[in-house]
Structure 1
Amino acid sequence: MGCVRIVGATVVDGSGRDPADLEVTIEDGLITQVGPDGGSGERLDAGGLTMTPGLIDAHVHLGLSSPIQPQFSFQISAAEIAADIFATAGGALDAGFTTVRDTGGIDGGVVTTIAKGKVRGPRVLSCGPVQCQTGGHGYYGADWEPTELWSSHHLPGLCALSMMSGNAAELRANVREAFRRGASFLKLCVTGGVVGAHDRLTDTQFTVEEIAVAVEEATARGTYVTVHAHNNEGIRNAIEAGVRCVEHGTDIDESTAILMATRDVALVPTFAVVEQLLHNTAGAGLGESTRDRVQGVRERMTQALAAAKEAGVRIGLGSDLIGPVQDRRGEELALRAALETPMDALVAATKTNAEILGLSGEVGVIAPGMQADLVLWDGDPLQDPKIFANPANAIVVVQAGRVVKDLR
């Protein structure tokens, strides 16, 4: 794509500023000019459409794109798992998500295959396999199966859900292995979870000293640790150990929120997966027991969001969708818009997520010098945020200056 002027769109630049009718000029994959007159270049008519930055989902599981229980019990072939992963990646792009942070399930080969353009998909940052306590959240082996056999189910280059550590030394070895496989950050499970086998939401997992080992290894590589965490005790352990981000944060209270703000620890709430598991548990390939575990989580996560916002915590946005039904990824923005404002949801999914992912200055806002990741929407999602939820409303998607979807 050479020099292109996108004209006629109402631009919502991701910074939180009011929308404006502006021309945007793209050249060599970058935004070169934003203004009333974008200068010369090929004209792309976007009359009547709304332009936003490419959306960012800070909590995805591309590697969990098949029915969950059959995948966890190894009833699905590697070929089918790969097909499901790449279909989900393409679907994310079609929904307007040009960048995603994979928080566990894929191995490095998926990231590089998408980056090479061999399959359609967003820019992917990945933690590789999730780091888990022996028998803790993220372990789904049969009760009779020895823990050491769990990793034998990994599919190198494709799929690696989690690694088990029984102590700090094992965790250090496992995080080094994750980095060897191409991880760009780390994720630890420090509490139980909703889709759990051997744990409860109230459980804490890993000690402060153990979590600190992962932080030390991440820091040595110029990156960070985020944690799956629902309860305050686990969150506080992680903060003390030096993590930079908390996923879910279901039970965050006022004092924990203040501690997060003081230590500049970000939060990524995940409402879409809660709705998914409440209303379509079977569609994710999970049993009804999962629905029982998720009861009350939505209300508590809503209260946690309010406490974090009041304390001034940096709050991103993630869908956490799992299973084969991941086509309505933008539902997360619609859910957040109902709890805050549509502009708040958009900024969380663009500018703030870019900051959390370490991509600030590259993506997340529409400004000169930024990557040309853009979406043209049919209608005004600030007036009707449900527009974000339907991929058909993403009329044009531009990734790094290249049109990857065009329904005009």
Structure 2
Amino acid sequence: MWLVGATVIDGTGADPVPRQAILVEDGRITALGGTPPAGAEVVDLAGLVVTPGLIDAHVHLGLSSDVDKLTTTRQLSVAELAADMFANCRQTLESGFTTVRDTGGVDQGIERTVASGKLPGPRIIHCGPILAQTGGHGYLGADWDSAEDWDSRQIPGLVSLSLVSDGPDAVRRNAREAFRRGAMFLKMCVTGGVVSRHDKLSDTQFTHDEVAAAVAEAEARGTYVTVHAHNNAGLRMAVEAGAKCVEHGSAVDEETAELMAGHGVALVPTLAVAHALRADATEAGLPPEIGARVGNVIDGQAAAIRAARAAGVLIGSGSDYVGPKQEHRGLELVLRSEIESPMQALVSATRDNARVLRIDEEVGTIEPGKIADLTVFGADPLADPRVFDDPAQVKAVIQGGRVVKDIR
């Protein structure tokens, strides 16, 4: 394919290049500019804006349905759950997100199904089930459920939200189980969370030895542990135990940011879900009081982004949506544009997210040699960041050199 006429924003932070041609061969970008080879399919993108395929570094495809009906009351069939997940995959791709990192809820079943081309969706990097402690964030069973009841709700090949793990030996065993199910990294919850029933954001969870056990298992497989963390006590413990990425980080201050930078730890803020839950948690199928738990998470994450940026921390971008309404992934870039700039929001959601996911040699920028994942906008998102969050402005999506959406 010879893509011509568009303004290209390459994801590196460099200035946009008007009327930049892109040559795609065998699923990869092979040249920028020049002349098309004989027989190339010419795709006219005049007046449009091309960016790297967007990446969402914090999704929950396994929570694509009403959360309480999925977890507490168990009112949904496997068929309904699967239908919701597959619809979410299609919607995510057509919103311009060609890659996602699933941070708890699916296993290799859905990842393989999408990768095979049997249904449309983004490239999925996943951790399998979250490692959660008894009574900790990530456990969403009813108050009267036993641990055995929670385990029985797993649907192999489709949904597996978390594995209850107490003590280093249990963490090690469940880490190995997550890898058996195809996990590409591990996730642990080291503090309380917003979508929780049995903890507070100020609670710390797991111990240094428990996190270190997971880190050892991840490193043995050439990968890493990321941690859900809303307070700095749990975050610092996890960093010192070897975790390499932090989700949310809503209390990160200058001192904590320096610690993260010194240990090469990335940060993935998640603003969109906090705004959604504060506005109306019931839309996600959660009790209305969950909204009050958002507290200072939004302002705290904004401050964390500024502190982390000043310290030189690698900062990614994640939406973290749960429930049936996940059509506004691009809102994360809008919100980040308000804190930093539209260009920085785009770089975080492309090049820097690829670095967080450790796939930056393959995707994240528009450069020769990279996989041809491209998002085509009908207007300039740098001039009006709201374009990021308007699926109707996503005029075309190219994934692996194949056109998967075209409404030009």
Q: With the length of structure 1 as denominator, give the TM-score of the two structures.
A: 0.98
CA distance in 2, matches of 1:316, 1:296: 20
Query: Does the aligned pair in 2 maintain the 1:24–1:38 contact within 8 Å?
Result: no
1:318-357 CA-partner distances (Å, limit 9, x unpaired): 0001100001111100110111000000000000000110
Answer yes or no: is 1:51 the counterpart of 2:39. Answer: no
Match in the other structure for 1:25: 23
1:255-313 CA-partner distances (Å, limit 9, x unpaired): 00000011110000000001110113111111111011012211111111111111111
CA distance in 2, matches of 1:144, 1:67: 20
Match in the other structure for 1:237: 237
Q: How does 1:227-376 map to 2 (within 5 A)?
A: 227-376=227-376
Answer yes or no: is 1:9 the counterpart of 2:6. Answer: yes
> Residue type of the partner of 2:350?
T
> Residue type of the partner of 1:222?
G
Match in the other structure for 2:118: 118
Match in the other structure for 1:166: 166
Match in the other structure for 1:70: 69
Q: What displacement does 1:36 show?
A: 5.0
- Structure 1, unpaired ranges of 5+: none
> Residue type of the partner of 1:148?
E
> Residue type of the partner of 1:218?
A
Query: Does the aligned pair in 1 maintain the 2:280–2:288 contact within 8 Å?
Result: no
Q: What displacement does 1:134 show?
A: 1.3
Q: What displacement does 1:147 show?
A: 1.5
Q: What displacement does 1:38 show?
A: 4.5
- Report the secondary structure of 1:25's partner residue: strand
> Residue type of the partner of 1:325?
K
Q: What displacement does 1:164 show?
A: 0.3
CA distance in 2, matches of 1:38, 1:369: 17
Q: How does 1:202-241 map to 2 (within 5 A)?
A: 202-241=202-241
Match in the other structure for 1:91: 91
> Residue type of the partner of 1:308?
A
Q: What displacement does 1:142 show?
A: 2.1
Q: What displacement does 1:144 show?
A: 2.2
Query: Does the aligned pair in 2 maintain the 1:13–1:19 contact within 8 Å?
Result: yes
> Residue type of the partner of 1:101?
R
Match in the other structure for 2:402: 402
Aligned length: 405
Q: What displacement does 1:114 show?
A: 0.6
- Report the secondary structure of 1:280's partner residue: helix
Q: What displacement does 1:146 show?
A: 1.7
CA distance in 2, matches of 1:321, 1:36: 42
1:108-142 CA-partner distances (Å, limit 9, x unpaired): 10111111111110000010100001111111222
CA distance in 2, matches of 1:369, 1:307: 34
- Report the secondary structure of 2:164's partner residue: strand
CA distance in 2, matches of 1:197, 1:38: 58
Report the CA distance shift for 1:143/1:282 in structure 2 as closer, same or farther (over 3 A): closer
> Residue type of the partner of 1:20?
V
CA distance in 1, matches of 2:312, 2:298: 21
Deviates more, 1:372-381 or 1:145-154: 145-154
> Residue type of the partner of 1:140?
L
CA distance in 2, matches of 1:169, 1:76: 34
CA distance in 1, matches of 2:94, 2:286: 26
Q: How does 1:84-163 map to 2 (within 5 A)?
A: 84-163=84-163
1:331-387 CA-partner distances (Å, limit 9, x unpaired): 100110111000000000000000110101100000100000001100100000110
Report the CA distance shift for 1:310/1:38 in structure 2 as closer, same or farther (over 3 A): farther
The runs of at least 4 consecutive aligned structure 1 residues that moved more than 3 Å come to: 36-40
Answer yes or no: is 1:35 the counterpart of 2:33. Answer: yes
- Report the secondary structure of 1:326's partner residue: coil
> Residue type of the partner of 1:13?
D
CA distance in 1, matches of 2:230, 2:36: 47
RMSD: 0.9
1:218-263 CA-partner distances (Å, limit 9, x unpaired): 0000011000001000110110011110000000111000000111
1:176-213 CA-partner distances (Å, limit 9, x unpaired): 00000000000000000000011110011010111000
Deviates more, 1:139-148 or 1:376-385: 139-148
- Structure 2, unpaired ranges of 5+: none
- Report the secondary structure of 2:255's partner residue: helix
